[in-house]
Chains A and B, each alone.
Chain A
């Protein structure tokens, strides 16, 4: 039996580690499109962008640990096509890799804007190579525009400010992050930008990239005619599942690969998906979700290995994600967008605690800044669906217009 894992980032590597942990002794083949030893992606938009920090990538596992997994590893190789009837994955370098069991762990790719691929100076952030190139450019203190005020954009803005660059963040919504966190908390988090000298332009529709005589970007033109000058642009407007290579395979794909509760691809026995690319009914929620969180990819690795080997699945965990901005750690647990803001104390630079409750008054999600104790308390509350009234939180201010 051969398990073929496509994707060598966190979901793929954790799948392989978990397979060996539960005693799977069959052959494992892994294909990853990047040449680097498998590395951890969260530091890309955080520590790796910091001025003076080492350029070393954070490995997902040591070279020795990887060797001990006894994997037929193909790095720098992109999967280009899946033939599920023949059980073959084709690669860009012309290989035809057979499998008994397939794990799709290709993650997501950044959404982009017209011109972003062709205008020099416009970047997205997905890989180590993207970030190492950006970091060298930040050292020359360019004027930076970040399109999109989500976590990746905010982390990049924070890093660019730390390098001393003038930074403007351009955001389509009236309040950054409002679609997930609501306007009040989104507004509080946006204050971090302003406190650190970053301009935030909201309600701004992108029109096109302005180019200088040499073709390089010199500004971001907005739909209202304004142009935000820029020598360097990062587009951080979300990501979409990296499923292009599955076109024509017949796999069910609709905002990710459609999976059952065991991460088995619906209608395709022996084919699984894990991590950002998988849409599956989360055991704590029931309805199909696709979660682009690092912790979720870790959990999927263990779950898919259990499904393949018929061993007990890991306990489902509450969704969790974090972001580091301007020296502050923002942590989100549960699903704030499932509820309404019911408690808000502190501020973005003063131990913000925001709690969201569902129709029955129980806690469904929370946002916390620099307060890991509160975070853990709220994590338990989300898992147990504890009523907000039962939590001993510092008093909340008025929540009008939240």
Chain B
């Protein structure tokens, strides 16, 4: 299985996100309760980088463009305007290195 190095654990504060550019651009999230998630970078409603600019509320990510909201466990859209799920990826942490399984 391919995997993409995202960052070191200490590079990303709890409650924040970042963008990792590979063959596909991935958003990596670290929630306030220190859970890690990864998804396709763009909101499914309109092009917007969730890794660069979004808000984490518990286990949900909110897009600042039109307030679309997704469940980070499943990628499921939780409110309009989003109706299409975010594609999610597994995150693997080894020796403080954060990888996204592609």
Contacts and interface: CB of A to CB of B under 8 A. Distances in A.
Contact of A375 (B57, B64, B83): B64
B67 A295 contact: yes
A66 to B, nearest CB: 12
Interface stretch (A125-133, A296-304, A336-344, A390-398): A296-304
A27 interface: no
B38 interface: no
A372 B64 contact: yes
Contact of A376 (B64, B79, B81, B83): B64
Given A373-B53, A376-B55, A295 B83 contact: no
A198 B66 CA distance: 28
Given A372-B64, A375-B64, A376-B64, A298 B81 contact: yes
A301 B64 contact: no
A65 B81 CA distance: 14
Contacts of B91: none
Contacts of A322: 65-66
A12 B64 CA distance: 24
B54 interface: yes
Given A379-B55, A380-B55, A17 B64 contact: no
Nearest to B82: A298
A374 B66 CA distance: 15
Query: Chain B interface residue count: which class?
Result: 10 to 19
Contacts, number: 41
A167 to B, nearest CB: 27
A295 B62 contact: no
Interface string A57-83: 000010001000000000000000000
A164 interface: no
Contacts of A61: 83
A208 to B, nearest CB: 40
B21 to A, nearest CB: 20
Nearest to A315: B79
Contact of B80 (A298, A372, A373): A298
B80 A376 contact: no
Interface of A: 14, 17-18, 61, 65, 294-295, 298-299, 301-302, 314, 317, 320, 322, 331, 372-373, 375-377, 379-380
Identify the 7 closest CB pairs spanning chains A and B, nearest first: A298-B80, A376-B55, A372-B64, A372-B53, A14-B80, A376-B64, A295-B67
9 contacts: A17-B83, A65-B83, A302-B79, A322-B66, A372-B53, A376-B53, A376-B54, A376-B64, A380-B55
Given A299-B80, A376-B64, 14 more contacts: A14-B80, A17-B83, A18-B80, A61-B83, A295-B66, A302-B79, A302-B80, A320-B67, A372-B53, A372-B64, A373-B53, A375-B64, A380-B55, A380-B57
